[in-house]
Amino acid sequence: MLLASCSDSDSIDKDEEKPVITINYNGGFPQACEQLKRGETYIFKVLATDNQALASYSLNIHNNFDHHTHDDQDVNCALDDKKDAINPLLVNENYAIEGGPTSYEIEIEVIIPNDVDTGDYHCAYSVTDETGWQARTSVDIKIVE
């Protein structure tokens, strides 16, 4: 009877893979070093995939006036001089992905207000699968007049 109540852990399909997130495809936006104009509206796009099921994603845009870096940035863009923020753009949005797809194109409308500080920013995306694995990617962008 004890043997019947035990299970073989090898038969459980464990998810040991992180999802993948990329901006580097035809249609991905914004690309590294992209210049975005104040007062304009943009559709930010990134492609997320997972071996089992995607669950959620987020977008974070924050200033880089102090020239900090993130560990996943591949491209070095020309930076303006360091400065103090007065009215920086800050976007921090989280979204659920319904139905657990294995591939999902994230599309987020972002309005750049007319009165935000121009200069260097980071655009960071993250995606989480249903078991909690997370992947992220970020790029340098610049807000201009």
Q: pLDDT of 50-108, one tens digit each?
A: 999 999 999 999 999 999 987 676 788 999 999 999 999 999 999 999 999 999 999 99
Amino acid at 95: Y
Cβ-based burial of 8 (10 A; exposed 0-12, middle 13-18, buried ≥19): exposed
Output phi, psi for 9, to 5 deg.
Answer: -65, -20
Is 16-144 assigned to CATH 3.40.50.20? no
Please name the residues in contact with 82: beta carbons below 8 A apart, sequence gap of 6 or more.
65, 66, 67
Domain ranges of the chain: 16-144
Q: Report which of residues 46 and 70 the model is more confident about.
A: 46
Asked whether the bond before 30 is cis by omega within 30 degrees of 0, the reply is: yes
pLDDT of 1 above 50: no
Give tens-digit pLDDT for 128-138. Answer: 999 999 999 99
pTM for the whole structure: 0.88
pLDDT at 73: 64
